[in-house]
Each structure stands twice: as C-alpha cells, then as structure tokens.
Structure 1
C-alpha cells in the first residue's frame, strides 16, 4: 500500500519520503481513534503529537513540510507521522471541507515497516 512518512532531520526540519507499507506485517498498536473535526490550529505549522499512522477515509489534503516541500494525502495513501520535533508540517484540504481519518498509534519504538521508493 502506498505510504508517505514524515520525519525530522538533524536540524529539526520536517521532510517526507514516499514508499509503501508491505502487506501482512503485524504492527502492534496502543490504541486508535477516529476524527472528523478540524481544529484551526491543526492547519497551522505543527509537529505530530506522537508517532502515528494516519488513515484517510475521506478528503484530499496537501501537506507542506517546514522546508516548503509538498505532497498529497487521500484515501489509499497511509501517512506515517514521525515529525514529532522541530518545526513540523502544515496541511490544507484541497477538495471540500471534510477530512475523515483514523489515527493509529503504534507501540513506542516499534518498527513501522515502511519501504522507501
């Protein structure tokens, strides 16, 4: 499955990698939650509150890294948010005003199984 991973470099800048998550890997999780509400602060520059997988169910978004690079998230693309330090990222909805998503929080320091392109 297509995936994009957000990370921090040594200076705290956020950047992204495109790749995939292989099928049939068991990823242990602590919990997950569903969210549809959009808080204004979420669209401003911010870090991920914790390492998490974000599964978009509805919506198309453009994410921007702290260095100004952009990528698109929509259903069928898993976001692995690991930019928990530094300046973080921002996003905006491209179509409509809805972002339905599931946040899945893996156990601390577990592998994410991401394979870069």
Structure 2
C-alpha cells in the first residue's frame, strides 16, 4: 500500500513525500463507540485516518461515530443491518457511514488478512 503526498516546497517545485502508516495501538475508552486495533492520522486538518483492524475482530451493534466515507484498501468486513441483511466490503469498495442513530450495525472482519481502511470525515448535514 502506498500513500504518496505531492506538495509544493519552499523552492516552488513539486515534491513527493512517502507516508508510511505506523498504526499506533489505541486503547479504547469506555465511551469509544468505534474501537480499532491501530490508527495513523494521515491528514490532520481533515481528520483523515488510516485504520488497521485485526482479521478476527468483530464489533457488536454500534453506530458510526460521525459521517465518513470509508475506503477499504486491504482485507474485508461483513456489515449486518437490523433486518439481517449482510454486505461484504472489500478492497476497492467505498462505504458511506451515516447511521449515527437507531439500531446501528454489526461488523465482522472476514478473510485471512487484517483490514486496512481510510476514513475521511464528511461535513455534518444542516
């Protein structure tokens, strides 16, 4: 997986910067509704994060903590909604997470590799 930043340097020229996620272990707080195994802040002003989820992880019924577009780069997750419908989200798939109230959803990692996803916060609707 490559994360490449292109930016203008002090010399007025464009430059590349390779960003290598460290996936810092995060201890879950009691009020944390979005547990994860590791995360790396990619772009601080926007709150964009890369997250790594252990392939044996499951997260019982919960809500999205905020509106986000989720790009799955590696691994896969099965998401179940209240009526029992299940969808598998895998590499190249994009999820728009907006169920911040109500019953929420249940997630189960599937497959043999950890899932790596990029979470991009969306503006709150007015």
Of 58, 66, 70, the match for 2:82: 66
TM-score by length of 1: 0.61
Residue by residue over 1:45-97, the C-alpha shift from the partner in whole angstroms, topping out at 9 and shown as x without a partner, is 10100010111111122110022111110011100001000110011122015
Which is bigger in relative contact order (C-alpha 8 A, separation at least 6)? 1
Unaligned runs of 5+ in 2: 1-44
What RMSD, in angstroms, separates the aligned Cα atoms of the two structures?
2.3
Unaligned runs of 5+ in 1: 1-28, 111-117
Question: What are the within-5 Å matches in structure 2 for residues 81-96 of structure 1?
Answer: 81-96=97-112
| Misfit runs of 4+, over 2 Å | none
**2:70 is matched with which residue?**
54
* 8 A Cα contact 1:30 1:107, kept in partner: no
Say which is worse superposed, 93-102 or 49-58, in terms of deviation: 93-102
* 8 A Cα contact 1:63 1:89, kept in partner: yes
Q: Which has the larger radius of gyration?
A: 2
TM-score by length of 2: 0.57
Question: What are the within-5 Å matches in structure 2 for residues 1-117 of structure 1?
Answer: 30-38=46-54, 43-109=59-125
Q: CA deviation at 1:42?
A: 5.8
